[in-house]
C-alpha cells in the first residue's frame, strides 16, 4: 500500500497495456518497370504452342449417345432422305457456299424447269441413312454444307448447264441409275446420246452384220452366173465346135 500511496512509486510499477511505438518509415524503391523488348521477343518465341489436330474437331463424326432417343422430327427427316434416294434416278451431291437468296431462288427456278429439285439436307441426318444403305460410298462427299439435286429422270446435261452459271455450287459426285459417278463421270455421262438414239444405233449395227453376211454369200453365185453367161455368149458368137459351117444359098441349077 505504501508503494501505491506514493505518486512516484505506482507510476514506476505500472505498465500500459498499449504502447505506441513509432518506427522509422522505409522509402519504396521498387517501381514497375517495362520489360525489355528483347526479353519480350524471347518469351514470345519460346511460348508453348499446343499441336493442332490433323482433323478439325467439327469434321469428326459425332457419336450419338445410345441412351438418347431420337425425336419424331429427326425420324421424319431420315424417312424423307430415304424416299429421295429410292424414288430418284439422279441424285447429285453438291457443295453449297453462301449466296444471296435471290440467286438461290433463280437457281431453283431454272432447275425446276428441267424437273430437278433442290434439297437442303443436314449431314447429321444424311450420314446415318447412307451408312445403312447401298449408297454408303457417297459418305466421303458429306463433309461440309451440302445440297442434293434430285430428279426422277437423268437430266445430267441440263443440270451441268445450270450449275455452270452458279459458281457457289460445286458438283462433287452423283448417283445415276444406281451407279455412283464422280464429277468427271457425270460430265462423260452428259455427253452420251439419248436412249432412243442409242437404241437406233444398236439396231442399225445389228442389222448391218446380217446384210453383209448375205451379200458375201451371194457374191460367189452371182460371179459364177456372170462368168457362165459371158462364156455362152462367146460360144454363140464363134459357133459351136464340130458343127459344119452354114453354106450360103446359090442360084438354081
pLDDT at residue number 174: 92
- Among the residue ranges 24-38, 69-83, 103-117, the one predicted with the least confidence is 24-38
- What's the domain count of the chain? 1
Q: How large is the average pLDDT for residues 224-249?
A: 71
Give the residue ranges of DSSP H helices in 36-122. Answer: 37-45, 72-87, 101-112
In a domain, 228, yes or no: no
pLDDT exceeds 80 at position 222: yes
Give residue 31's pLDDT: 74
In a domain, 45, yes or no: no
CATH value at residue 129 = 3.30.70.1730
What confidence tens digit (pLDDT) does each residue in 94-108 have? 999 988 999 999 999
Could you give the percent of the chain with pLDDT greater than 70?
79
Residue 54 in any domain: the answer is: no
pLDDT of residue 69: 64
CB distance 168 to 146 below 8 Å: no
The domain of 124 spans 72-190
Handedness of CA 231, 232, 236, 242 (dihedral sign): positive
Q: How many CB atoms lie within 10 A of CB 124?
A: 14
C-alpha cell at 132: 445403312
Neighbours of 154 (CB within 10 A): 18
Q: Is 161 within a domain? A: yes
* CA-atom Rg of the chain in angstroms: 51
Distance of CA 222 to the CA centre of its chain: 62
d(CA 107, CA 101): 10
Residue with cell 528483347: 38
pLDDT of residue 247: 47
Note whether residue 18 is domain-resident.
no
Rounded to the nearest integer, the mean pLDDT of the chain is 80
Amino acid at each position: 500500500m505504501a508503494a501505491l500511496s506514493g505518486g512516484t512509486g505506482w507510476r514506476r510499477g505500472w505498465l500500459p497495456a498499449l504502447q505506441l511505438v513509432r518506427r522509422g518509415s522505409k522509402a519504396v524503391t521498387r517501381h514497375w518497370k517495362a520489360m525489355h523488348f528483347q526479353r519480350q521477343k524471347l518469351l514470345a518465341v519460346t511460348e508453348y504452342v499446343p499441336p493442332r489436330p490433323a482433323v478439325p474437331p467439327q469434321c469428326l463424326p459425332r457419336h450419338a449417345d445410345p441412351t438418347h432417343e431420337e425425336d419424331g422430327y429427326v425420324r421424319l427427316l431420315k424417312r424423307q432422305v430415304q424416299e429421295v434416294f429410292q424414288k430418284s434416278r439422279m441424285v447429285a451431291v453438291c457443295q453449297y457456299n453462301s449466296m444471296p437468296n435471290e440467286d438461290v431462288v433463280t437457281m431453283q427456278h431454272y432447275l425446276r424447269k428441267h424437273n430437278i429439285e433442290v434439297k437442303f439436307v443436314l449431314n447429321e441426318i444424311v450420314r446415318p441413312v447412307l451408312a445403312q444403305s447401298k449408297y454408303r460410298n457417297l459418305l466421303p462427299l458429306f463433309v461440309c454444307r451440302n445440297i442434293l439435286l434430285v430428279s426422277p429422270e437423268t437430266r445430267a446435261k441440263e443440270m451441268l448447264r445450270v450449275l455452270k452459271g452458279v459458281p457457289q455450287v460445286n458438283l462433287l459426285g452423283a448417283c445415276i441409275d444406281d451407279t455412283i459417278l464422280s464429277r468427271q463421270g457425270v460430265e462423260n455421262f452428259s455427253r452420251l446420246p439419248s436412249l432412243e438414239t442409242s437404241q437406233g444405233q444398236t439396231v442399225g449395227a445389228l442389222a448391218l452384220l446380217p446384210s453383209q453376211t448375205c451379200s458375201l454369200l451371194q457374191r460367189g453365185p452371182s460371179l459364177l452366173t456372170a462368168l457362165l453367161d459371158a462364156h455362152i455368149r462367146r460360144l454363140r458368137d464363134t459357133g459351136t465346135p464340130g458343127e459344119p459351117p452354114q453354106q450360103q444359098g446359090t442360084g438354081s441349077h
